[in-house]
Structure 1
Amino acid sequence: MNLSALLAARTAQGKPVRIGLIGAGKFGSMILSQAQHIDGYHIVGIADLDVTKAQTSLARVYWEKNQYSASSLTDAITSGATHVTDDASSLFACSEIEVIIEATGHPIAGVRHALSAIDAGKHVVMVNVEADVMCGPALAERARKAGVVYSMAYGDQPAAICELVDWVHSCGFELVAAGKGMNFCPGYRYSTPDTVWDYFDFTDEQVKSGDFNPKMYNSFTDGTKAAIEMAAVANATGMDCPSDGLAFPPAGLQDLAEVFKPVSEGGRLEKTGIVDIAASREPDGRVVLNNIQYGMFVTFRAPNEYTRQCFNQYGLMTDASGWYGSMWRPFHLIGLETAVSVLSATLRREPTGISKRYRADAVATAKGDFAAGNMLDGEGGFKVWAKAIPAKQAVSLGALPIGLAHHVKLKRSIERDQIVTLDDIEVVDDLDIHALRTEQNQLLES
């Protein structure tokens, strides 16, 4: 990698990389924490509906007040400081800004922001995986036609998994599975924002700090975030989701190559080329030995006997047969690493992961029995969890994507673990997103 050298050369020419950030929550705060330590990396503007909260985030990550006191975007460009605003459209209108980081976590807003940025000729780094899994293939196609980069955010697990998948293909191995670790066991599926902190070791002081959103953390706990991220990985890599959703087999480092291979070979996969999760909990709640809760992995197969022998000679962790090996990254630092995506987009015009095809979806699935008239409350809420399924199946069912399951009314009853369909709900104020989803169906892969 030579991104730092490319940035240094450009900075020496007096041309910093100029960035607009939308959303100053947890991920955005981590981006901001590192931004001030990268020469030539200028956050020109930060847009957040709550300007005071954004300013509080900046103070929390040790920005001096004069660093974010620019009175306008023009002032920010001239002074090198940062302007904080509640108007995201001003970032799109600013010709000097090259790239937009979308970090709101709101799927509908994220899609609309990405469309506006692409229309304005700006690269997009989509932190918002919720938006990407819902409309990423369509957004990527729009960006391609506009001649700009649309990219997953490095530091988040999907982009790191895409990097590992690329490594497998580049080395000439047969890709078998890809996924991530996660603290999950079956009982977590029906967690709610009222019970979520029971699954974490945070103190009351940490929870009250303003950096911890119960719905967001509940999305991790009930498996929704896993479905969103794995479906996004499938769309970026051409892999498949399991036909009945993610299986979450428990597996530690020593188990990856044994577990994440086809059933026909003694593993747990229905076929080769599947995304799934290595759960860090056994079904009874016990912690898995050597779990990779914060990591990402790939499993792959040797193409011949010579390569199989090399696996053994060079210490690769394999299954008992020696044919299947695993590679992993033990951690991800989300926003602390996102500058890699920004610099790759602007300096190389390359994405760090991109949803090139519509292969999988994350669809709303009932957490209980609910009657007509109930309001769904979206990702991480009380009513639905997300299930990752093949896109063909989602289209055939008319399934409701998890990103459109917030604040919508049921027009007929649903039962626990039932996939919610568009026919089950009243479609009200997001017709533009539904239209984009219809456009995306043209990218459906067989």
Structure 2
Amino acid sequence: MNFHSHYAGISEPVETCLVGSGSFGRSYLAQSRRTRLVNARIAVDVTAEAAGEAFAAAGFAPREIALCSTEAEVKAAWNAGKCIAAASLDSVMELPFVLLVEATGSPEAATRHSLAAIDAGRHVALVSKEADSVVGPGLARLARDKGVVVTPVDGDQPSLLIALASWAEVIGLEIIAAGKSSEYDFVLDAATGDVTCNGLTRSLPVLREHWLPGSRSIANNAAERARILGEAFPLRAVPDLCEMTLVANALGFAADAAGFHAPPARVPELADLFAERSEGGLMGGTRRIDVFHHLRLAEEASFAGGVFIVVRCDNDETWEMLAGKGHVVSRSGKTAALYLPRHLLGVEVATSILDAAGLGRSGYGDDYRPRQDLVAVAQRDLAAGTVLKMGGHHHSIENVGAEVRPTTALADDRPAPFYLVADRPLVRAVKAGEAIRLGDVAIPEDSGLLTMRRRQDALFAANDGASV
């Protein structure tokens, strides 16, 4: 597809407002200066100073940036052609932007901001997957009813994987599995046996014995790698499961295992590992979601947190030819891996903005609904009174993991969405291995996230008789 032609009908730049100026937001502001059809002159953060620093980091000169604390200051600065750095979305709502880029990462704030934009007739690019995993389908439905669009964003894995998987199904490929690599590679120093991941190095020379499977089962060899690596590194990350939940809700895929298989793998092994079990792989069926941990040597390229699909090879001659051209085909010749080894964060978000605001299209597609939930699971015994504090770069909760399970409507005796219980206190003890139920936590009735989730349940008429 020629993207110049695709967007040829958009003649004026789309005016946007960014809320949340972290690493994603900053990369968006920087790239927007070079994107002809997108303007990003408005940024909101906890303080106007933080938003101003984001503009400065993106390359805007101090004279171009106005720190604003009132609506009058906002209006004057806008009319003077300056970039607006503000501490409140309310203070900039009268400006003529047509799309909100919500990148706070806060489930409550993202829900509040998205609803404000939708109510005002603005489109929303929902970067905050934390909110999306709880109420994204509901927000998208409300937006559609208002004649606007909520969309995920190119630059993050859910949107990129939805595109890859839907493309594959349009051209007639049967998908066995769809997924992404976890955020950080495991990098082996073959000479020393040291393994480095996300700045942490451990001596694991025994991993060298399992670097190549040889004649062994690729799945069994990956299990041995997981055992070795799991003694030194965490092998599950909540954001991975969160992102894949969005894909499942968009495409109707499901988790093969609630906590994912997440094998440590080299790229040439993907077609074998994510095949069905009858073919020696890990999957118990088709259209499954999962992740893998990318193993590589220092001199090899990273998968860069990219996305992949594993498809069925239904014509031997075709796939033998493609294997000869370098495509990743399984030992059996029955499955192949197709992949996109990138996610460029805010650098590539403009395509999603243009699709939403210029073409009225959402990256979710037309059937985004609550099919799967990311639920919270205690990793050790948790006492009543424990606050499930969300923190860190990955917005995780200490001693709480996550699983992807079929969605049900909220109820006190049912597992609660992970990011709905974040930052809430437990009102009763939860044992290790148990899902945290809605009735286990104290959530204020004025929680916008809770209210929106209940609204979503009603919108989609969730089956009250279902169980998780």
Deviation at 1:357, TM superposition (A): 1.4
| 2:275 is the alignment partner of 1:278 | no
Deviation at 1:77, TM superposition (A): 4.9
Aligned in 2, Cα 1:268/1:397: closer, same or farther, shift over 3 Å?
Answer: farther
| 2:48 is the alignment partner of 1:37 | no
Deviation at 1:2, TM superposition (A): 4.9
Report what 2:178 is aligned to: 178
Matches within 5 A, 1:16-165: 16-69=13-66, 72-75=73-76, 77-94=78-95, 96-165=96-165
Matches within 5 A, 1:233-244: 233-244=247-258
State whether residues 162 and 233 of structure 1, in contact with CA within 8 Å, keep that contact through their aligned partners in structure 2: yes
Deviation at 1:383, TM superposition (A): 3.6
| 2:454 is the alignment partner of 1:425 | no
Report what 2:191 is aligned to: none
Q: d(CA) in 1 for partners of 2:169 and 2:332?
A: 22
Matches within 5 A, 1:252-331: 252-280=266-294, 292=303, 294-305=305-316, 307-309=318-320, 311-312=322-323, 314-331=325-342
Higher helix content, 1 or 2: 1
Tell which deviates more after alignment, 354-363 or 120-129. 354-363
Deviation at 1:84, TM superposition (A): 1.1
Deviation at 1:175, TM superposition (A): 1.3
State whether residues 184 and 281 of structure 1, in contact with CA within 8 Å, keep that contact through their aligned partners in structure 2: no
Report what 2:425 is aligned to: 409
- Deviation by residue 1:213-256 (Cα, 9 ceiling, x = unmatched): xxxxxxx9751101110111111111112343212112221111
Q: Secondary structure at the match of 1:297?
A: strand
Runs of 5+ unmatched residues, structure 1: 187-197, 204-219
Q: d(CA) in 2 for partners of 1:36 and 1:247?
A: 41
Deviation at 1:25, TM superposition (A): 1.2
Deviation at 1:392, TM superposition (A): 4.5
Q: d(CA) in 1 for partners of 2:149 and 2:183?
A: 33
Aligned in 2, Cα 1:251/1:221: closer, same or farther, shift over 3 Å?
Answer: closer
Report what 2:261 is aligned to: 247
Q: Secondary structure at the match of 2:328?
A: coil
State whether residues 3 and 347 of structure 1, in contact with CA within 8 Å, keep that contact through their aligned partners in structure 2: no
After TM superposition, the score normalised by the length of structure 2 is: 0.80
Deviation at 1:6, TM superposition (A): 6.7
Q: d(CA) in 2 for partners of 1:344 and 1:177?
A: 27
Deviation at 1:10, TM superposition (A): 4.5
Aligned in 2, Cα 1:363/1:21: closer, same or farther, shift over 3 Å?
Answer: same
Deviation at 1:79, TM superposition (A): 4.3
- Deviation by residue 1:68-115 (Cα, 9 ceiling, x = unmatched): 228645445544432111121234443x21100000000111111111
CA RMSD of aligned residues (A): 3.1
Aligned in 2, Cα 1:410/1:9: closer, same or farther, shift over 3 Å?
Answer: closer
Report what 1:193 is aligned to: none
- Aligned partner letter, 2:396: G
Q: How many residues were matched structurally?
A: 412
Tell which deviates more after alignment, 348-357 or 123-132. 348-357
Higher Cα Rg, which structure = 2
State whether residues 52 and 67 of structure 2, in contact with CA within 8 Å, keep that contact through their aligned partners in structure 1: no
Q: Secondary structure at the match of 2:265?
A: coil
| 2:198 is the alignment partner of 1:200 | yes
Q: d(CA) in 2 for partners of 1:293 and 1:222?
A: 17
- Deviation by residue 1:251-276 (Cα, 9 ceiling, x = unmatched): 22111111112112211012111100
Kindly, what percent of the aligned residue pairs are identical? 29
Deviation at 1:290, TM superposition (A): 7.2
Q: d(CA) in 2 for partners of 1:83 and 1:353?
A: 30
Q: 1:344 aligns with which of 339, 351, 355?
A: 355
State whether residues 307 and 342 of structure 2, in contact with CA within 8 Å, keep that contact through their aligned partners in structure 1: yes
- Aligned partner letter, 2:437: T
Q: Secondary structure at the match of 2:424?
A: strand
Aligned in 2, Cα 1:223/1:394: closer, same or farther, shift over 3 Å?
Answer: farther
Deviation at 1:50, TM superposition (A): 1.5
Report what 1:367 is aligned to: 379
Q: 1:389 aligns with which of 401, 405, 414?
A: 405
- Aligned partner letter, 1:265: E
Aligned in 2, Cα 1:438/1:303: closer, same or farther, shift over 3 Å?
Answer: farther
Q: Secondary structure at the match of 1:18?
A: strand
Q: Secondary structure at the match of 2:56?
A: helix
Aligned in 2, Cα 1:56/1:290: closer, same or farther, shift over 3 Å?
Answer: closer
State whether residues 177 and 275 of structure 1, in contact with CA within 8 Å, keep that contact through their aligned partners in structure 2: yes
Deviation at 1:146, TM superposition (A): 1.1
Aligned in 2, Cα 1:86/1:185: closer, same or farther, shift over 3 Å?
Answer: closer
Q: d(CA) in 1 for partners of 2:269 and 2:342?
A: 18
Runs of 5+ unmatched residues, structure 2: 187-195, 202-233
- Aligned partner letter, 1:316: H
Report what 1:377 is aligned to: 389
State whether residues 185 and 295 of structure 2, in contact with CA within 8 Å, keep that contact through their aligned partners in structure 1: yes
Deviation at 1:165, TM superposition (A): 0.5
State whether residues 8 and 40 of structure 1, in contact with CA within 8 Å, keep that contact through their aligned partners in structure 2: no
State whether residues 184 and 197 of structure 2, in contact with CA within 8 Å, keep that contact through their aligned partners in structure 1: no
Q: d(CA) in 1 for partners of 2:88 and 2:140?
A: 24
State whether residues 311 and 322 of structure 1, in contact with CA within 8 Å, keep that contact through their aligned partners in structure 2: no
Tell which deviates more after alignment, 291-300 or 177-186. 177-186
Aligned in 2, Cα 1:397/1:249: closer, same or farther, shift over 3 Å?
Answer: farther
Q: d(CA) in 1 for partners of 2:332 and 2:251?
A: 27
